[in-house]
Amino acid sequence: MPAFPREELEEMMDRWLEANRNAEREGNWSKYLGVHYTDDAVYRWNMGPNEEFWARGVDEIRDVALGYQMKGFEDWSYPYETVLIDEKQGQVVGFWRQVAPFKRDDGTDYEIAGVGGSWFKYAGDFKWSWQRDFFDLANVKSIFFELAGAGHLNPVIREKVHRQAKGEMLPGHEKLREEPGRIEKVKNALALVRIAVFG
């Protein structure tokens, strides 16, 4: 037996996609998406080999994941390309793009390359119990370099980048384990250099 009727999951995604369109139109994700999470929902994404973003509970999701984290991206668009529904497990995967509100001199969009998407667990009552986003962090950084060079990087994003460059953890960001010491980092770097140079 399926965890939920497929029709219900399809309606959930119809509501979710409409909420996303409204959020993009107003630049307010908390207002439109925040209603679609259970009180104890968890929202996560990875920020590299030793850093994870966590929002625990609907208040943190609204205030941090959909609020603070989306500051500076109000004019970006995130069109969904494909949605896959698994009614037996009550899970959904949606693949989306991340497009900046500027174009290069050649007319192409500043768009984050690679695969981006969200993986959801449905809880009934048209709400998610968890969401996990995935995207290519290296391509995010590449686009930020391009936008900065072209003078298009939003001041709020610039401030976040500056804070991270100073070693500050942004709200919701957590280390997954203790960082290796300086000696171990140097040893690892030298080992990789030897491999690159000598094979």
Three-state SS for 17? helix
* 75 close to 27: Cβ distance less than 8 angstroms: yes
* 51 CB-near residues (< 8 Å, 6+ apart): 173, 174, 175, 176
- Opening angle at CA 112, ends 32 and 53, nearest 5: 55
Q: Is residue 99 part of a domain?
A: yes
The span from the CA of 67 to the CA of 79, in Å, is 19
Q: Is residue 116 part of a domain?
A: yes
Q: What is the pLDDT of residues 151-184, one digit of tens each?
A: 999 999 999 999 999 989 999 999 988 877 788 8
CATH at residue 135: 3.10.450.50
The number of folded domains in the chain is 1
pTM: 0.87
Q: Is residue 1 part of a domain?
A: no
Task: Supply the range of the domain harboring residue 92.
Answer: 6-198
Average pLDDT over residues 103-107: 94
Q: Is residue 55 part of a domain?
A: yes
